[in-house]
Structure 1
């Protein structure tokens, strides 16, 4: 349990801006092996980020007037809050991938562009479109029912952080081994780590599903089961997005980089919201 907690806190330290400093950081420690083991808790980080964003959105929904532009306000501020927590870690990966794969058809040249810290036209366009898509979809979901928006936020953050781990399992790391911060993380992932990640994910799914079932029986809401079906559709859409990203990286790079993990998380999160919106 101690190792479990240390690996989880290391994942929080690596993937978010939530401070793990001072004596706590000393207790957690660091090594490439620990960072590799912390990959199992990537969906667990989604639990934390998703819960914070969903809770923040719920408070805004409770305080703002019903109807009107309230869902849009919640979508914008909730998205901004999520970026503040993560430090735009995954959006940065999306921008680098868009610049690299959009900027050159040549594999080696694309990898060089992806390492450049400057943001080009393709990267800027990709991030802007991703943020617009996220805000518009969340505003749409919030306008349909605020009851579904917060569970959707929570699940999307967990599910979208599970799929990238399959990239690590299925593909080789092709980034700069010497300069990549993600190399120890992406070097390999064991079956045990994958099992832990899936437990994080499936526990979140079960929690939300049972909550919606409870709402149906307690509140006699006939739409609850329909919402469960919609969430299952959203999960399938997220899986399709992962497959598309996996095929794209394999075709263009014959592997993945740390930026590819961030881009995959963003694509799977957006696909989750889109699948949910379409199913409704």
Structure 2
């Protein structure tokens, strides 16, 4: 039979230390969850063979993007880090900026497996190679590349190389790397935004199979991107940063509207195209301001 002291201890309010421990446990759970979601995004959006990073992370599990998409910007920043580091190493050599930018762009494509570039080429072929929604979706599922897709890849890669080289020459290798990493993070947040806000063109497609992000995931994604703005502000200035963000957001929104008109919403290919287009728009926006 419990004593009075036992009853008193059972009914006593939590101490300040108990509340602090609970709060700390909740914070640790949120951080561990975000780390696990970041690892899942890195595996999905790249070829990086990442082992389990915590007990919350199961490398064999399929990602649930209703929540996991919140970490896409952080994953994008990490995925682009080796390419940015390569650029810093090449700065120690006598290679011209154009050659260095070409190697940086190639490094990023190898790391991602050209996942988003593939989406861009499929969208270009589908959107401009057919006259109705059904045929456009069929073309986008075809693994073969057509004239519009090839042209889109050539132009996007050439523009990326030119913009990276211009960043290198104008801001220096270190600041160019910071701007490049921010663009990769921002473009993934914009991808999540369009994924969340636009209807899905294929109910059984890739964009639907792993869950559609909710508003909470979108908001967290944008909050994470804000952390990358501070170093860009220091490197390029406020006006350049604003121009980059505005152009990137406009490009993402425009691509989403075109997809809505052409096929009735987004697909995995459309999301990849949004990432490519918005990242290029961000770099161009940084450079467009004197």
Q: Please indicate the TM-score interval, normalised by the length of the shorter structure.
A: 0.7 to 0.9
1: CA distance, partners of 2:245 / 2:221: 16
Following superposition, the deviation at residue 237 of structure 1 comes to 1.1
Q: Residues 232 and 241 of structure 2 are in contact (CA less than 8 Å); yes or no, is this contact kept in structure 1?
A: no
1:158 — aligned with what?
Answer: 185
Local SS of the residue matching 1:28: coil
- Once superposed, what is the RMSD of the aligned Cα atoms? 2.2
- Picking from 205, 209, 212, the partner of 1:184 is 209
Q: 1:191 to 1:27 in 2, by over 3 A?
A: closer
TM-score (norm 1): 0.85
1: CA distance, partners of 2:199 / 2:169: 42
- Picking from 56, 64, 67, the partner of 2:93 is 64
TM-score (norm 2): 0.82
Local SS of the residue matching 1:161: helix
Local SS of the residue matching 1:46: helix
Following superposition, the deviation at residue 96 of structure 1 comes to 0.6
Residue 72 (structure 2) pairs with residue 42 (structure 1) = yes
1: CA distance, partners of 2:83 / 2:207: 25
1: CA distance, partners of 2:279 / 2:255: 13
2: CA distance, partners of 1:138 / 1:22: 33
Following superposition, the deviation at residue 183 of structure 1 comes to 2.3
- Picking from 253, 261, 272, the partner of 1:251 is 261
Q: Residues 32 and 56 of structure 2 are in contact (CA less than 8 Å); yes or no, is this contact kept in structure 1?
A: no
Following superposition, the deviation at residue 14 of structure 1 comes to 0.5
Local SS of the residue matching 2:188: coil
Following superposition, the deviation at residue 95 of structure 1 comes to 0.6
**Which stretches in structure 1 are left out of the alignment for 5+ residues?**
213-223
Local SS of the residue matching 1:162: helix
From the CA coordinates, give the structure whose radius of gyration is larger.
2
2: CA distance, partners of 1:118 / 1:25: 40
Local SS of the residue matching 2:237: helix
2: CA distance, partners of 1:34 / 1:234: 30
